[in-house]
Structures are given as structure tokens and as C-alpha cells.
Amino acid sequence: MIENKYKEFINKLDNELKDDCLLLIIELFENGATIKEIYDNYLIPALARYECNSSVEEICIWKEHARTSIIRTILESTYPYLIKQKNKTINKRILIACPQLEYHEIGAIIATNYFILEGFDAKYIGANTPSEQIISALKILKPDYIALSITNYYNMVATKKLTEKIKLEYPNIKIIIGGQAARNETTLSQLNYDYLIQTHEDIQKFKDGILWN
Ligand code: B12
């Protein structure tokens, strides 16, 4: 059943039918779907499993951009369902950012929404965020955690410098790392961080750890 609905969704997405994609997802929410079901079964695989069928590179590029834009619209338009479904607030603030030159941000937005769903005071501060801006946000918003989303491993060098600066200037703020580049242990070993978190289940375990301490 889910597999058929997913195929229907992907078919609409492949044809850039934005309104139809959004209406399909809204219908699922109205029929009782949870944020986790929609994100894990529709939105995440729609991008993570995306393969361009065209051999013409320029077609692939605009198709990927259009697809990302539709997923983004769905994430923003369905935010009220997240507000309705979110768990009791826990008194922990977390900032989520994509470091300098990291433009992949859908994973970071989804992670932010999962932290919100679990009751964190989570704020997403943007893609391609210069290190000085991240440091400024730490100074002003005084979070308990800073979470960095890294997709492209070329951005590890800048992220390494940033994590070292945070450890030096704000030793009490714990650093969380997530994103595709963090799946590579060699790349990850270069960073100074406290937690590696990727999935909704990881976030739930992380929250349990905080509540039990
Ligand atoms: C969409 C996309 C883009 C879009 C991004 C738009 C946007 N606003 O985000 C655009 C067009 C900008 C883009 C550009 C590029 N891209 Co691109 N892109 C993708 C694509 C198709 C999907 C990425 C995505 O959104 N996935 C869905 C999300 C939900 O998954 P996710 O990011 O893995 O996040 C999950 C977890 O990792 C986790 N997570 C992520 N962050 C965090 C943070 C925290 C704190 C936590 C808890 C969890 C968490 O949560 C998510 C849910 O589980 C992938 C293909 C793929 N297989 O992933 C390529 C891909 C990532 N891109 C790639 C490349 C090479 C590029 C470019 C260099 C292409 C180019 N030549 O210009 C540029 C680089 C731009 C830059 N400087 O950052 C490569 C990366 C390879 C590598 N080196 O690592 C990929 C893998 C494609 C490929 N197979 O080659 N891209």
C-alpha cells in the first residue's frame, strides 16, 4: 500500500507536478499519517534515491533543482502538522547549521524538524553559513548544542576549523555532527565533536540519554 502511494508520489515528482505532490502528502496527513512516516517513507527517499534518467547533464541539473524545490515546499507547507504532533517540550536548545560552502540543506531541515518533534527548542540557521555567523549565533542564542550538517566531504576542512574554534571559545556547547559526509569514518575522525546523529531513532536515543542524566 505504502509502496504504491510512494510510486504515485514519485511519478508526480518526476513530472514536476508540484500541486499534485503537495495534495497527495496533505491527504496522507489528513488520514492520520505521522511526520516520521511522511519524512522517512516519502520525502527522504525521494531525494536520497534520486537518479536522473536523462543522459543530458543540463536536464539532470534543472530536474534535481525542481525536485528539491518541491520537497522544500512540502516541508514548509506541512509544518502545522509538525506543530500538532510534537512531543512535550524539553528544556534544551539546539542550533542546526550547514557550514560555509555547504548548500545541501534538506537533511539539515529534516533533522531540525525531528528535533522539534521530540520537544527540543531547535533553530535552523541556514545553508552555507559563514563560521563567524555561526559563532555569533552561539554567543547570542546560547544553545546547549550546535549541530552541523555536512554532505560534501570537501567541506570537512572548514568544518574542522569551525569545531576547533567552538571547542576553544564555547567549551560548554556540545557539538553534534550529521549528514552524508559524516558516514565516512576517516573523514569524521578529523573532527572534534561530541555526538554523531543521523536518523530520527538516533535523535530519540540522544533525547533519552539527556532525560536519564
Ligand atoms: C538535492 C541535491 C543537491 C541540491 C541541494 C539543494 C538543497 N537546497 O539542499 C543542489 C543542486 C544545490 C546540489 C548541489 C551539489 N551537489 Co548535490 N545532491 C543532491 C541530492 C540529489 C539529494 C541530497 C538530499 O537532499 N538528500 C536527502 C536528505 C534528506 O538526505 P541527507 O542529506 O543524507 O540527510 C539525512 C541524514 O544524512 C541526516 N542528516 C543530514 N544532516 C544532518 C544534520 C544533523 C544534525 C542530523 C541529526 C542529521 C542530519 O538526516 C537526513 C534524513 O535522514 C544528492 C544525492 C543523494 N544521493 O543524496 C546529491 C549529492 C549529495 N550532491 C553531490 C554533489 C557532488 C553536488 C555538487 C558538488 C554538484 C556540482 N557539481 O555542482 C553541488 C555542491 C553544492 C555545495 N557546495 O554544497 C554528491 C555528493 C558527493 C560527495 N562528494 O560527497 C551527491 C551524493 C550526488 C552524487 N551521487 O554524486 N545537490
Taking the complete model, does pTM exceed 0.85, yes or no?
Answer: yes
Is the distance from the beta carbon of residue 99 to the nearest atom of ligand 1 less than 6 Å? no
Instruction: Indicate if the pLDDT at residue 210 is higher than 80.
Output: yes
Q: What is the pLDDT of residues 16-65, one digit of tens each?
A: 999 999 999 999 999 999 999 999 999 999 999 888 877 878 888 899 99
> Quick check: 190 pLDDT over 90?
no
- The CA radius of gyration of the chain, in Å to the nearest whole number, is 18
CA of 71 to the centre of ligand 1 (A): 13
Ligand 1 centroid distance, CA of 118 (Å): 24
Q: Is the C-beta atom of 50 inside 6 A of ligand 1? A: yes
Cell of 110: 529534516
Cα-to-centroid distance, 33 and ligand 1 (Å): 26
CB of 110 closer than 6 A to ligand 1?
A: yes
Q: Is the pLDDT of residue 1 over 70?
A: no
Which of 37, 101, 104, 204 is the pocket-test mutation for ligand 1 (most atoms within 8 Å of CB)?
104
pLDDT tens for 119-157 read 999 999 999 999 999 999 999 999 999 999 999 999 998
**What does the pLDDT look like over 150-167, one tens digit per residue?**
999 999 989 999 999 999
